[in-house]
Every structure is written in C-alpha cells, then in structure tokens.
Amino acid sequence: MKEIYVDSDKKDDILMEKEKDENNEEKEAEVIENKNKTEEAKFKKLNVNSKKTEKKIKKMDNKKDKKKGIIIGVTIIALIVIGIIISTVFALININNDKIINGVSISGIDVSGLSKEEAKEKIEIVYNEKKEKEINIKYEDYTATLNPTLLETNYNVDKAVEEAYKIGREENIFINNYNILFTLIGKKNVNVDMTIDEEVAKQTINDISMELPGVIIESGYSIEDDELIITKGKSGIYIDTDKLVELVKSKLSDVNTDEDFIEIPVINREPEAIDIDKIHEEVYQEAQDAYYTKEPFTVHPEVEGIDFDVEEARALLQEDKEEYIIKLKITKPSVTINQIGSEAFPDQLATFTTRFDVSDVDRSTNLRIACQKINGKVLLAGETFSYNKTLGARTAAAGYRNGKIYSGGEVVDGIGGGICQISSTLYNSVLLANLQIVERRNHQFVTSYVGAGRDATVVYGAIDFKFKNTRQYPIRIVASAQNGIATVSIYGIKEENEYTFNFNTKVISTIPFTTQYVEDGSLAVGTETVKQKGTNGMITETYITKMLNGKVISTQLLSRDTYSAMARIVLKGTKNLSSNTPSQPAAPYENQNTQNEPQQGDNNQDETTIPKDEQTEGESSNPSSPEVSE
C-alpha cells in the first residue's frame, strides 16, 4: 500500500482553515437563527397588531351595524305605529259605517254600499222572480213544468245578507283591514243557500214520468170483486229522478242561467217478469172474524179470505196476452166489525142533532139514506173518513130523490137534496168528539138548521167532508133520521183526558142582498110576485174553546167563512089581458144594489133546508137565515 506524507505545517494550516470554516458556518447559522428569531418576533408583533386592528375594525363595524339596526328598528316601529293608527282609523270608519263594504256581491249581484235592508230587498226581488218562474223540462216532443213554489223552494237571503254585512266587521282589527283590502282588490261573492222539499220534488217527477212517451210499464195486478186481473208490462224508459232533482236544484240556485229547458234524463229498462208465486203470497189471506181484546183494548176488523189456483194461473200466463183474468175464491167472515156492538164502543163521545120537516117526504128519504150509509161505520185509529166515498154517487138507482138544492143562486129541485144536513150534523159531532177535520167547506148561503160557521157542504166528485180518527182507540158512527130529528153520535172508549168544547161565531161584515126583476108572461101587466126572498150574506169567524174539567185550555180560530147574499127575485107581469097574449118583453129592470151583486156559486149543490128548521144543542138557527137555504 502506498503511503502519503503530508507536511506538518500545511497540515496545521489545513486544520486551522477547517476550524475557521466551521466557525464561520456556526456564525452564519447563528446569524440566520437570530435573523429568523427577529423575523419571527416581527411577525408575532405584526400578527398582534393585525389582530388588534381586526378587533378594532370589527368593533367599528359592530358600532355601525348597531346604529343601522337602531335606525331600522326605529323605522319599523314608526311604520307599525303609523300602520296601527291608520288601521285603527280605517277600522273605526268601517265599524261606524252601516253599509256593506265595496267589492261584495251576493250570487253575483253587487251589493256594495248598501245597507242590510237595501241588500235584502234587492236580492229578494231577484229570487222572488226566480220562484215565480216555472221550470220547463222536456224529453223529445214531451214538455212539462215544475213550479218552484209547489216544490217548497226556499232561499236563505237573510243569512247571505248577514254574511255579506259581516265582512270587515270581525273582532280583530287587522283581520278586518285585511278582509276589506282583499275584498276591495279581489272582490268577494256570497252564495245564497237554496233548499227544496226533495220528497215533494221526487213525487212530482214520478207523477210526470207516467205521462212520458215510451215510459216503461211494469207488470201489475188488481182485484175487482172476485177477479184477479194481471197486466203484462212493456219495456221503455223511466226518469232518472235523482239526476233530474239535482238539475232542478242547480237551475234554481243559479240566478244567471238563461236555459229555456232542462232535458229530462232517462234510463232504458225492461219490466220485471210476472211472478205468480209472489202475487199469490201478497193476495192470499185467510178469512178472519172481527173481534176485540180488553187488555189492552184493541179492535180487530174482519178479513175476507182470498185465494186462487196458482198452477192454473201459471198455465194461463204462458199465453201471449196483455191481460190475464184469474177467478178468486172469496170466503166471507162470520162476524164483521159492525156486528161487535156496544161492548167494543161502550162510551158516547159526542152527539149532535138537527131538525127537519117530515112532511117533505122526498127530502126526508134522502136524509134517511145518508144516515143509513154512515150508520155503523167504524174508523180505526189513524183512519180517515170520506163522506162522499161512504155515500157514493147520488143517483135515483141508489134510492135518492129530488130535493131542494142551490143552483145558480136559486133554489131548485135536484137529486139528493138534503144530504148536506147530515154532513153538517156529522161535522158538529166530530168537533165535539175532538177528532181532526181534514176537509170541510161552508155552503154558498147560510143554512137554517145550523148557524153560520157550523155547516159542511158536499158536492159529489168536487167537494167532500173528511175527518181523521186521531183518538187512541177506534170509533163508531151511529146516525138516524126519524120523527123530524137527525142525530149523529160518535162512540168509542173515553181517554184519560176528555175535553169539552164551546163555539163562538162572530160576524165580521155583512153583504147586502140585491133585488132582481124578472119578466113573467103568465102574470098580468102591473102585477108583481116575490119568487124568492132575499137575505144578506156575511163573512164570519168561528172560534172553538177547548176545556178540561171546566177550565179553559185554549181558544183558537176554527174557520173563516164567506156566505153569499141571496138575491130577492121579483116576477113582474107582462101579460096583456085584452089580447090574452103576453106583451113584448120590456127592457130588463136594473137590479138594486148591483154593486153588491154576489158571485154565483157552483151548480148542483147537494144541499137544501126546510123552513123553520133549527139546530138543537141549545143554539137557534141564525136569525138572518133564509127560509130555504143551502
């Protein structure tokens, strides 16, 4: 290995140089370190100053924000205060205003600035016209009308007006102002609630449906005497009742509609097949005698037995016919309700009598027939009695004879004259028995057998007398006409409270009679004969007082009746005795008091009276009654 030799002096120099370099490096490092420290110190100092500055800036910004917030807050408060003041004033102005605010309408009709009374009057005019206008409905060529009044149409105008008036008048001022401003800008419409009696509407539509062309005819049956008559149905249409009701309601609700007609909605349908087993089930009943039970007391009327041969009927239905007639087997009961007697009707509930002239045989006969027809008639609780239905048509075949009746304002002969005396007698007995009057009309003229307001006229097919048994138990009518006295009594069972009744008739006004002169060629010139005495007419009010154990329970109006004046008819002779021939008719004489000439009533009244007939039960006939009257 080769050795290297170095000079010692150089070696020292090298070492010294190296040491010097190291010292320089250390110094440089120290300088750098000191410089870094200085820089770090400066940075820290600068950073501290920066944070202080930042805090200072933030503090200044906070002061600015706070000042700005105060300004904004003060501004908002000022605006709120101003708004409250304005709102309060605005609200107070509207509160004190008794008019509906601007922008409000009812059913599209502007009512702005109107009082409630003015708005109601304006709206009612529209809806009253709506109610008076009939609704036209049609199907193809068929047309019909529906009357809003008959449908019991009702418009709740009061509610709508009140709702319109309350807009802007709530308890909260701010809500009021909002509503007022919103209404003013966006408008507000209040609808009027409308209702109809839907049951009446549906019944009316059902009645109309029977007249519709091509309407479906369902299979049906009826019993006439001892025959069951079955009719085959036909396919067709029927009215969609629910849909039509909604269309009618919509039209009645809309005051702006211009539609002339409502198209009747219909549905096509086939009739149900004839079900002979079902018909037999409905028709069949066993004969049952009338009877009554005491505890609880109940009257059971008789029942006729009805039956028919089902298989024979089924074979008959195989034939292609429109109508099938099947013979019924009728079994009569042994005991009818009229045969039960006094045990089932032990108490006399009421009785009333009137007098008649037995010397008038024909009229007396009519009274007896009427009594026979109603005698023994039993009405179960809830049943309604019809005088015309019970008596039937007044014909000679039924035994009725000619009697005095009113026709065209005069007394003439007519079939069945006198039977109104029985209906009037029955009317008073019914009142005393505390039964409900269903239908009753006064005569054209005041009668002499009962006072004004206590009569009940009848005309077959036109005017009926009806009443309903509103008592708890069945009643029985007992009637007779003999020895110049017509009596009608009501029998049954007394209830816990039995009332007594008094009647008071007030004459409200009098209608003067007129005098008519009629030329008569059978009388000599210059002679006069009174054909008919005149009597005044009148308007009366009859009150009924109800009492229990002598204490008055109630007094109410029973009826308000108008009786025409009966004209005085005078025959004036025109016969020329020298020529034995009637003279030429002179110009007709003017009637006296023609301005009071009453209108003539219906012809063929079923009623007359006999001179000096009077009502019993402690009341005399009306002193102004004519000798012969309805």
Regions of the chain where pLDDT drops below 70: 1-25, 29, 36-37, 39-66, 69, 78-97, 170-186, 258, 341, 403-415, 578-630
Q: Which among 205, 107, 103 is positioned nearest to 159, based on CA atoms?
A: 107
Residue 331 tokens, joined = 């079994």
Q: Which long-range contacts (CB under 8 A, 24 or more apart) does 143-151 make?
A: 143/261, 144/208, 144/211, 146/201, 146/204, 146/248, 148/196, 148/252, 150/200, 150/204, 151/196, 151/197, 151/200, 151/201, 151/204, 151/248
Classify residue 238 by its DSSP letter: E
Please report, for residues 586, 592, 599, the alpha-carbon distance to residue 569 in angstroms, rounded to integers and kept in the order given. Answer: 17, 11, 16
What is the crossing angle of helices 198-209 and 241-253, to 10°?
Answer: 120
Torsion of Cα atoms, 396 then 398 then 404 then 407, to 10°: -80
Which pLDDT tens digit goes with each residue over 336-346? 877 776 778 88
Q: What's the pLDDT score for residue 627? A: 29
Q: What's the pLDDT score for residue 588? A: 42
How far is it, in rounded angstroms, from Cα 191 to Cα 180?
18
Please report, for residues 521, 587, 602, the alpha-carbon distance to residue 580 in angstroms, rounded to integers and kept in the order given. Answer: 10, 21, 39
Other C-beta atoms closer than 10 Å to the C-beta of 333 total 17
The H helix count followed by the E strand count for the chain is 11, 33
Residue boundaries of the structural domains of the chain: 115-164+189-252, 276-337, 347-596
Which pLDDT tens digit goes with each residue over 475-514? 999 999 999 999 999 999 999 899 999 999 999 988 888 8
3-state SS, residue 27: helix
- 143-181 burial code (b ≥16 CB/10 A, e <16): ebebebeebebebebeebbebbbebbeeeebeebbebbe
How far is it, in rounded angstroms, from Cα 606 to Cα 457?
7
Q: What's the pLDDT score for residue 105? A: 85
Q: What's the pLDDT score for residue 629? A: 30
Q: Which among 490, 504, 497, 473 is positioned nearest to 547, based on CA atoms?
A: 497
Q: What's the pLDDT score for residue 48? A: 56
Residue 601 tokens, joined = 């009533």
Q: What's the pLDDT score for residue 203? A: 82
